[in-house]
């Protein structure tokens, strides 16, 4: 699997998590701010459109979204 495919998978997991929680990038920025992470709607949109962000950012998002477990489908790796 190419680097772009890995990035796309990470982006899709995060975007789907936001959708399931019915949250916007602005909501996510506010939640991240509550744990001391300074992001804004535009910086989050840029990270997600680019698809490349740090694993720590991913974990911070999962934390504020209160997602403790995710199921991965890593076929083809």
Mean pLDDT along residues 62-77: 86
Number of domains, the chain: 1
- Find the domain containing 14 and state its range: 3-64
Is residue 33 situated within a structural domain? yes
pLDDT in tens, 23-69: 999 999 999 999 999 999 999 999 999 888 999 999 999 999 999 99
Specify if 72 maps to a domain: no
Residue 76 reports pLDDT greater than 80: no
* 73 is a domain residue: no
Which pair of tokens denotes residue 42? 């535009």
Q: Is residue 71 part of a domain?
A: no
> Is 70 a domain residue?
no
Please check whether residue 36 lies inside any domain of the structure: yes
Judged against a pLDDT cut of 80, whether residue 16 lies above it is answered with yes
Is-contact 67 23, C-beta < 8 A? no
DSSP 3-state helix, strand, coil percentages of the chain (rounded to 5)?
60, 0, 40
Domain annotation covers residue 19: yes
pTM value is 0.88
């Amino acid at each position: 699997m190419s680097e772009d495919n890995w990035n796309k998978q990470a982006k899709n997991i995060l975007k789907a998590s936001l959708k399931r929680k019915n949250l916007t990038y602005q909501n996510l920025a506010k939640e991240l701010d509550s744990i001391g992470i300074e992001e804004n709607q535009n910086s989050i949109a840029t990270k997600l459109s680019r698809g490349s962000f740090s694993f720590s950012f991913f974990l911070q998002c999962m934390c504020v979204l209160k997602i403790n477990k995710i199921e991965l489908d890593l076929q083809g790796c």
